[in-house]
């Protein structure tokens, strides 16, 4: 099991740094000691309440890593929630997940009010003290089919969806990326840019810990300050860079972002959004000794299921870039959405969907052990997106992604979303989630949120809002809407721009004409 591999480093290299964030450094010995003690505390507190998830709240603190491992040792799934999430959203996640325990590495928002049982992840916490030096019983280990973690993504109804990832899915992913990139044991440094609530972080977090590496975290304040960010990167000796393409593109704006800053870098591993051709070309020019890897996968399929090394030949032959070939234990098909609707209609495991020929666009479908166990406590949405098909004497769990794509030359190409879902700075956003919260403002009639593109990617969100009458002070109205949304949604989901309209334009069949709105916003 992956946790046993991580724990083994406490014996092999007890004083090696497992996690570094600013001036805080945590060794593998401390990580095991704290996760063991915390596991026993969780087991005590959870008696009689079943396998309810444990919410882990914070931002980049080492205590969060100990909590993730402790939950696995206790046989319970964890729910990572970033410290930037407002109280309203945190309350939704706690209520939706049914969590009875909240472990905190950062102070909870005062507006949250009373929560379930809380435990502190500070180094001197009583959660550790009572059981330091004790080893949890093996009977509490996660089984392959058990849910390991739950990541909440934006939901179109205004309620976030909890994506359940099993131990089997996580270990399938780790075996795949470990075989592809072969990190040297107890030798690598992995950049952790994404918050732990974003599934991209699963790649750097567990690749690093399983291989005895050092996870080097940069927080949002460092990322917002070029000087602080580059100071940290220069000190890091990073060998594996894991981030969204947007983060790397931001760094490329500084000419000092080159192999002189990161002389030991071996890999750029990108996932979470489209890797622009220009970004890849500039990285290869500035870091000639590092490989650029383009990957694709939704949260519902455990980080990524395809990969491709971006070589000079790939840059020459393809623009936009392909997202690669599938991992060996998964099937990735491109199918007609209408065919998927038909196959899923009766609820029984069908045969595999009929794939479209090369070059013909359709909906991307993923099947295999990477696929999620579905959305937590949301059977209706699970039935819409997940199904099983019988193929070759076995049944495959399958997920229809809602992503558009096609095959060419044996490579998968991603074309965006079939629905209105957006990717902004690597975050997956359902505009309907934001729209629903805007409609709850008493003086708002209707609302539509769109992504405004610049240079081929979504640069920011714009909200179109109808009101009963003219808005006399638009500055004050925008401020009220922003403040209202900030009480419920994370910052990356707040529109940059607001437009006030008497009515929304409609298509001939009575639907909101989103294309017209987008054209008029340019």
Measured distance CA(441)–CA(454) in Å, rounded: 30
289 Cβ neighbours under 8 A, 6+ residues apart: 259, 265, 266
Tell me the mean pLDDT in the region 260-270: 98
Which residue carries 């030991």 as its tokens?
264
Least confident of 266-270, 307-311, 320-324, 447-451: 447-451
Please tell me which of 437-441, 455-459, 482-486 the model is most confident about, judged by mean pLDDT.
482-486
The yes-or-no verdict on residue 399 having pLDDT over 80 is yes
Least confident of 24-38, 113-127, 401-415: 113-127
Measured distance CA(124)–CA(126) in Å, rounded: 7
Q: Supply the pLDDT for residue 297.
A: 97
> What is the crossing angle of helices 28-46 and 62-73, to 10°?
50
124 Cβ neighbours under 8 A, 6+ residues apart: none
Measured distance CA(151)–CA(81) in Å, rounded: 8
pLDDT interval class at 423 (50, 70, 90): confident
State how far the alpha carbon of 345 is from the alpha carbons of 340, 350, 388, in Å. 8, 10, 12
Q: For 32-56, what is each residue's pLDDT tens digit? A: 999 999 999 999 998 888 789 999 9
pLDDT interval class at 171 (50, 70, 90): very high
Please tell me which of 112-116, 272-276, 476-480, 504-508 the model is most confident about, judged by mean pLDDT.
476-480
pLDDT interval class at 168 (50, 70, 90): very high
Which residue carries 């949260």 as its tokens?
299
Q: For 10-21, what is each residue's pLDDT tens digit? A: 999 999 999 999
Query: What average pLDDT is seen over the chain?
Result: 91
- The CATH-assigned architecture of domain 328-417 is Roll (2.30)
Q: Supply the pLDDT for residue 337.
A: 92
Q: For 489-519, what is each residue's pLDDT tens digit? A: 999 999 999 999 987 887 654 567 888 888 8
Consecutive H or E run containing 249: helix 245-252
Q: Supply the pLDDT for residue 120.
A: 92
Tell me the mean pLDDT in the region 321-348: 90
Mind spelling out the 3-state secondary structure of 117-163?
Answer: EEEECCCCCHHHHCCCCCCCCHHHCCCCCCEEEEEEECCCCCCCEEE
Q: What percent of the chain is modeled with pLDDT above 90?
A: 69
Q: Supply the pLDDT for residue 468.
A: 78
Between residues 470 and 264, which one has the greater pLDDT?
264
The SS3 assignment for 13 reads coil
Between residues 165 and 471, which one has the greater pLDDT?
165
Break the chain into its structural domains and give their ranges: 1-142, 328-417, 429-521
Q: What is the CATH number of domain 1-142?
A: 3.40.50.980
The yes-or-no verdict on residue 346 having pLDDT over 70 is no
Least confident of 7-21, 111-125, 395-409, 472-486: 111-125
pLDDT interval class at 486 (50, 70, 90): very high
The CATH H-level superfamily of 429-521 is ANL, C-terminal domain (3.30.300.30)
The yes-or-no verdict on residue 141 having pLDDT over 80 is no
Please say whether the beta carbons of 36 and 73 come within 8 A.
yes
Q: What percent of the chain is modeled with pLDDT above 70?
A: 96
Please say whether the beta carbons of 170 and 2 come within 8 A.
yes
DSSP letters spanning 361-396: -EEEEEESTTS---BTT-HHHHHHHEEEEEETTEEE
Q: For 190-217, what is each residue's pLDDT tens digit? A: 999 999 999 999 999 999 999 999 999 9
pLDDT interval class at 393 (50, 70, 90): confident
497: left (phi over 0), alpha (psi -120 to 50) or beta: beta
pLDDT interval class at 73 (50, 70, 90): very high
Q: Supply the pLDDT for residue 353.
A: 86
Q: Supply the pLDDT for residue 509.
A: 47
Cis peptide, bond prior to residue 320, ω within 30 of zero: yes
The 8-class DSSP code of residue 420 comes to S
The yes-or-no verdict on residue 392 having pLDDT over 80 is no
């Amino acid at each position: 099991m992956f946790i046993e591999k991580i724990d083994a480093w406490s014996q092999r290299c007890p004083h090696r740094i497992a996690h570094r964030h600013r001036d805080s450094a945590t060794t593998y010995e401390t990580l095991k000691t704290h996760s063991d003690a915390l596991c026993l505390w969780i087991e005590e507190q959870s008696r009689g309440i079943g396998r309810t998830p444990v919410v882990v709240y914070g931002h980049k603190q080492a205590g969060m890593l100990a909590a993730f491992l402790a939950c696995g040792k206790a046989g319970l799934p964890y729910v990572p929630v970033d410290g930037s999430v407002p109280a309203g959203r945190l309350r939704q996640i706690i209520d939706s997940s049914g969590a009875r325990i909240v472990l905190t590495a950062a102070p909870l928002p005062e507006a949250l009010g009373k929560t379930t049982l809380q435990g502190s992840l500070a180094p001197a916490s009583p959660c550790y003290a009572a059981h330091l030096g004790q080893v949890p019983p093996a009977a509490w280990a996660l089984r392959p089919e058990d849910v390991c973690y739950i990541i909440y993504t934006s939901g179109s109804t205004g309620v976030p969806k909890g994506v359940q990832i099993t131990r089997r899915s996580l270990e399938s992913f780790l075996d795949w990326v470990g075989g592809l990139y072969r990190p040297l044991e107890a030798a690598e440094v992995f950049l952790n840019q994404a918050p732990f609530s974003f599934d991209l972080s699963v790649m750097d977090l567990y690749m690093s810990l399983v291989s005895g590496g050092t996870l080097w975290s940069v927080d949002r304040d460092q990322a917002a300050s070029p000087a602080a960010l580059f100071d940290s990167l220069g000190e890091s000796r990073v060998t594996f860079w894991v981030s969204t393409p947007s983060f790397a593109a931001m760094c490329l704006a500084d000419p000092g972002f080159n192999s002189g800053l990161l002389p030991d870098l071996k890999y750029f591993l990108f996932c979470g959004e489209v890797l622009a051709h220009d970004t890849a070309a500039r990285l290869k020019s500035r870091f000639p000794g590092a490989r650029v890897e383009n990957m694709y996968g939704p949260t519902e399929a455990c980080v990524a299921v395809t990969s491709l090394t971006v070589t000079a030949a790939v840059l020459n032959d393809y623009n936009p870039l392909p997202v690669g070939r599938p991992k060996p234990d998964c099937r990735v098909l491109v199918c007609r959405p209408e065919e998927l609707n038909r196959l899923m209609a009766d609820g029984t495991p069908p045969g595999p969907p009929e794939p479209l020929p090369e070059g013909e666009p359709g909906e991307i479908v993923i099947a295999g052990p990477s696929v999620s166990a579905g959305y937590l406590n949301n059977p209706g949405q699970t039935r819409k997106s997940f199904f099983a098909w019988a193929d070759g004497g076995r049944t495959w769990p399958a997920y229809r992604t809602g992503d558009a794509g096609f095959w060419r030359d044996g490579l998968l190409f991603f074309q965006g979303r079939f629905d209105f879902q957006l990717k902004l700075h690597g975050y997956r956003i359902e505009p309907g989630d934001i729209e629903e919260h805007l409609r709850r403002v008493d003086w708002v009639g209707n609302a539509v949120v769109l992504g405004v593109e610049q240079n081929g990617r979504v640069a920011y969100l714009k909200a179109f809002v109808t009101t009963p009458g003219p808005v006399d002070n638009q500055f004050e109205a925008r401020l009220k809407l922003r403040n209202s949304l900030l009480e419920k949604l994370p910052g990356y989901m707040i529109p940059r721009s607001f437009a006030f309209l008497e009515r929304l334009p409609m298509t001939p069949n009575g639907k909101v004409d989103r294309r017209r709105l987008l054209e008029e916003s340019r």
